[in-house]
A and B are shown apart, each in its own frame.
Chain A
Amino acid sequence: MKKIFSFAINLFVVSAFCFSIYAQSPDRTKPPQLPPPSQLKLPAVQQFQLSNGLKVVLMEKHDVPLIQLNVVVKMGSVNDPENKVGLSNLTMDMLDEGAAGKSSLELADEIDFLGARITTNSSAHISGINLHTPLSKFDDALKIMSDIVLRPDFPQKELERKKKERLTSLMQMHDQPTAIASAAFNQLLFGKEHPYGRMTNENTIKGFAVDDLKNFYKKYFAANNAVVIAVGAIKKDDLKKKLESAFGKWQKGIVKETTVREAAQVSKRIIYLIDKPGAAQSVISIGRIGAARLTSDYNSIVVMNTLLGGSFTSRLNQNLREKHGYTYGASSRFAFRPVPGSFSASSSVQTEVTDKALIEFFNELNGIRESIPDEELNRAKNLVALSYPGNFQTVAEIAGQLEEFIQYNLPEKYFAGYVEKMLGVTGSDVNVAAKKYIVPDQIIIVVVGDKSKIEEGIKQLNLGEIINLSIEDTLGKVPKMEN
């Protein structure tokens, strides 16, 4: 780590001298050597509470007349009741479909008239209502936002429409090979009952009632179960006053901390083959249980995965795309969550070379467990560390970074220390992480493709037991709609 820096400083001195004596023709035989990068200087993260205890996190950014305001609620699909999978997502989706007596279309009219944007989102553990507005329209937009967050009506008519849309989307998934692969992968890895693996279905969607949404909302929308994240051209005192009038009356509640059980690790290698007759490509997803966000291995894993499949020059992409031309791209990722999420390596490959592509996948999954050449390690570290400032350009991006900061209660100096921490990852750290998390013998392989063309080749590989599945095994029957 230190060595890199002193090396870089020497270069800085050299290139500083060169600067004033440019030759007419540059030395093109090698890339120019350059001084060390400038530090990312972010405005301070300011934290305060409203009178009702609602937490606010603010980063002032005065160069653009915009405000991003995210209300984050600690609730997500892990909180869906067992027989109501999809309820958290539907509840969030319905928030802006009627509030404070105003209809869905009236709300949309008001927001659009301001030239602002309010969207809702939900994920496994947190959900949110996000406002993006010109500074000049902030006051008016905040009033609408407050109605949507605090006074949603959940109108029956809109619920029926949303249910219909959801059934239609579910129906469409049957034609989307990548969506099928991803749903199957999570189900097979975590189990159909686990919060990270389960999926909604036709009957559940049809069964959702207004009271389900209202009760769910009441249970989780409490001032002490939410955080407001603000980024933009506004001073703390001004924001505090405005938020006090918008959210100061939000009541506290009793919300139990959510715990998710850790899924069992994969114990052997199994191939799941999902037939999609006539598919133009085979979609491959290979993986196992990964790691929790707050694991002490986090930095090592990030660098290791960048090397394996997290960048264009990663081994998977270089091998499957640039060396063999099997695919437009191959990648891998860790889904970091409060308890371990998935590790997955995936690609859409030419049908005829599905088996060959699998061989190359496993070559790389095995290879990453060997020691890593310095040149490659440094490239991955530099990419992770030095591209980091690029994540802080827009107000929405910064708010996203702050969400993670709050969700995982990261240390105050987290952003400032990120670059140095990542540059400090060593080859042995990466090697330890690879051996611990990438275990090619204990892994599931999901392939969605034309079985008649690929099954024989896959069998020949002797990777392990092959289980044949249909699309319906994953998604259920194609939903029927009464009109």
Chain B
Amino acid sequence: MKRIFVSFLILFSFVYVDAQTKKIAFEQYKLDNGLNVILHKDNSTPIVAVSVLYHVGSKNEDPERTGFAHFFEHLMFEGSPNIRRGEYFKIIEGAGGQLNANTSFDRTFYYQVLPSNQLELGLYMESERMLHLKIDSIGVETQRKVVKEERKQSLDNRPYGTVGEKIFSNAYKVHPYRWVPIGSAQYIDQATLDEFIAFYKMYYVPQNATLSIAGDIDIAQTKELVKKYFGEIPKGAFEIVRPKEIEPAKTAEVRDIVYDNVQLPLVVQGYHIPAQGTPDYYALNLLTQLLSGGESARFQKEIKDKQQKALAVISMPFALEDPGLFIVYGLANMGVKPEDLESSFEAEIEKVKNELISEIEFQKLRNQIEGQFVARNSTVRGIAESLANYFVYFGDANLINTELQRYMKATKEDIKRVANKYLTKENRVVLYYLPKSAEKK
């Protein structure tokens, strides 16, 4: 059960970032070709994370080529003139390293975690595919099949698996967030080799990338190695295209029903909210903590424990570069009608809109958020990713140390205000997932 929700979270929340009380010291600079470099030294464990964030995600895609950025992520493991197809993983695993990548709406992130003596190998491997990726038709054909199975495994063969896709496609009509990173299989089949090459030349260039390294390193030596491997990569020749679409303000509620292979109804609401990093975004984060952060949160207490209407209830503001969604969802208990569950959401949301929360409850939220900051950034990979995210999205990697203050600026009044401003009927999409058996009635 829990697994469904966890995977739902994983599907979308690539950018759940926080900081800690242990200060993360780092150095940051730019190479002549525009590559951003961030280095953090932590010698406590003999491992190092080498990561590259390319500032390209599904929102940069052509609507006729959805899923392209994610598909391209797969192709990035295909090799280079010096690394034959199939060798990329072998070389790194053979050195005791682990590697993977993922694609979100806003960016694509590649990482390797290596024994620290293999830092140079990590730089070699990442620089090879930034300098001269090699794609052949065998690789493309194989990955087409793999990605289709990825979609089935993550979405189609999993109850409620398509919920993210449905909520975003209903919530957005103009902005490219209207499709999700996994995209449509049909477009992947249509894409040609020339299109892949054009995409690579536009987005996989030094000035659109951030190389973030964290772990057991020597800063001076690492700088030399970075220069050695990345210095010779030419700057991209094109001006990078970013989406300019602005989703118009909503004026009427959107409702939809999905009949799926499920036993229990799922109720999902999505409210339009401002982009991550804005003051209201932080207030919305406190609001989500109030509603569903932990077993003592309001949704859990009222809807799960007292009314026993749901097996699980969650709210979460989706952290996105452009204005995103505040998502509320609940899995109805057996015999509970979705309308009943939805009205319980409503009642809790109304309460926040009308009554200022108590000082003690407010303090609890702040303590919880502080506690999360202490615990975050305990792995080198997490630190490398957070530093890159903060830099790319906010232009300030030091937010890894200071973002907590932004959360702490939000007041009780702010929580009430943002609930009134954003959690309104006309500003939302509501989706019911119902058993297929209900369709015939």
A residues bordering B, Cβ < 8 Å?
19, 22, 24-26, 28-32, 34-40, 63-66, 104-105, 108-109, 111-117, 132-134, 137, 161, 164-165, 167-169, 171-172, 174-177, 278-281, 283, 311-313, 318, 321-329, 348-350, 378-379, 382-383, 385-387, 389-390, 392-395, 478-479, 481, 483
A266, B374: Cα distance in complex, Å:
49
User: Is the Cβ of B116 less than 8 Å from the Cβ of A37?
Assistant: yes
Complex CA distance for A104 and B232, rounded to whole angstroms: 61
The answer to whether the Cβ of B208 comes within 8 Å of any Cβ in the partner chain is: no
**Known: A379-B93, A385-B96, A390-B47. Contact between A112 and B263, CB under 8 A?**
no
Closest to B116 in A: A38
Q: Is B293 an interface residue (CB 8 A)?
A: yes
Interface residues of B (CB under 8 A from A): 1, 4, 20-22, 44-47, 82, 86, 89-91, 93-99, 113, 115-118, 120-121, 124-125, 128, 131, 141-150, 152-154, 156-159, 216, 221, 224, 228-229, 232, 261-264, 293-297, 300-301, 305, 308, 311, 333-335, 360, 363-364, 367-372, 374-375, 378-380
Q: How far is the CB of A104 from chain B (nearest CB, A)?
A: 7
Provide the bound-state CA to CA distance between A174 and B221, in Å: 56
Contact A279 B157 (CB under 8 A): yes
**In the bound complex, do residue B21 and residue A280 qualify as a contact, i.e. CB atoms below 8 Å apart?**
no
A133 to B368, CA, bound (A): 11
A-B CB contact pairs (8 Å), 14 listed: A28-B124, A28-B128, A32-B124, A34-B95, A37-B115, A38-B116, A66-B378, A161-B308, A164-B333, A172-B1, A175-B262, A279-B157, A324-B142, A326-B149
What A residues does B261 contact at CB under 8 A?
175, 278
| CB atoms of A322 and B86 under 8 A apart | yes
Known contacts A105-B295, A393-B45, then 9 further A-B pairs from the complex at CB < 8 Å, ordered by chain A residue = A28-B124, A36-B117, A64-B20, A175-B263, A280-B156, A281-B157, A390-B45, A481-B334, A483-B334
Interface of B is mostly: helix
A22 vs B148: C-alpha distance in the bound complex, in angstroms? 44
Instruction: List the A side residues contacting B293 at CB < 8 Å.
Output: 112
CA distance A323 to B45 in the complex (A): 36
On whether A113 and B96 interact (CB within 8 A), knowing A64-B22, A167-B334, A478-B263, the answer reads: no
Residues of A within 8 A of B363 (CB): 113
* CB within 8 Å for A108 and B374 given contacts A327-B149, A328-B146: no
Residue of A nearest to B333 (CB): A168
Q: Are A104 and B93 neighbours in the complex by a CB distance under 8 Å?
A: no
Contact A379 B90 (CB under 8 A): yes
Query: A residues within 8 A CB of B378?
Result: 64, 66, 393-395
Distance to closest chain B CB from A119 (angstroms): 10
Contact indicator B335/A65 (Cβ below 8 Å): no
User: B146 and A390: CB pair below 8 A?
Assistant: no
Q: Give chain B nearest CB distance to A200 CB in angstroms.
A: 14
Residue of A nearest to B150 (CB): A328
Q: Which of chain A's residues has its CB closest to B2's CB?
A: A169
Residues in A with CB closer than 8 Å to B157 are 177, 279-281, 283, 348
Q: How far is the CA of A386 from the CA of B93 in the complex (A)?
A: 9
Q: What is the bound-complex CA distance between A116 and B86, given in angstroms?
A: 45
Question: With a CB–CB cut-off of 8 A, which chain A residues contact B46?
Answer: 37-40, 389
Looking at the assembled complex, report how far the CB atom of A68 sits from the nearest CB atom of chain B, in whole angstroms: 10
A-side contacts of B262, CB under 8 Å: 172, 175
B221 proximity list for chain A (CB < 8 A): 19
Query: Given A37-B117, A176-B158, is A325 in contact with B96 using a C-beta cutoff of 8 Å?
Result: no
Q: Bound state CA distance, A395 and B154, in angstroms?
A: 31
Are A30's CB and B82's CB within 8 A?
Answer: yes
* A331 CA / B196 CA spacing, docked (Å): 30
From residue B204, how far is it (CB to closest CB) to chain A in Å? 17
Nearest-CB residue, chain B, relative to A24 = B232
In-complex Cβ contact of B263 among A31, A113, A172, A280 (8 A): A172
Alpha-carbon distance between A387 and B4 when the two chains are bound, in angstroms: 29
A113 x B367 contact (CB < 8 A): yes
Min C-beta distance of B363 to chain A, whole Å? 7
A329 and B152 alpha carbons, distance in the complex (Å): 12
Considering the chains assembled together, what is the distance between the CA atoms of A32 and B128 in angstroms?
12
The answer to whether A32 and B120 have CB atoms under 8 Å apart is yes
Q: A479 vs B154: C-alpha distance in the bound complex, in angstroms? A: 26
- A346 CB, nearest partner CB in chain B, Å: 12
The 9 closest A-B pairs by CB, nearest first: A386-B96, A115-B371, A325-B145, A108-B295, A108-B296, A38-B46, A379-B94, A328-B150, A280-B157
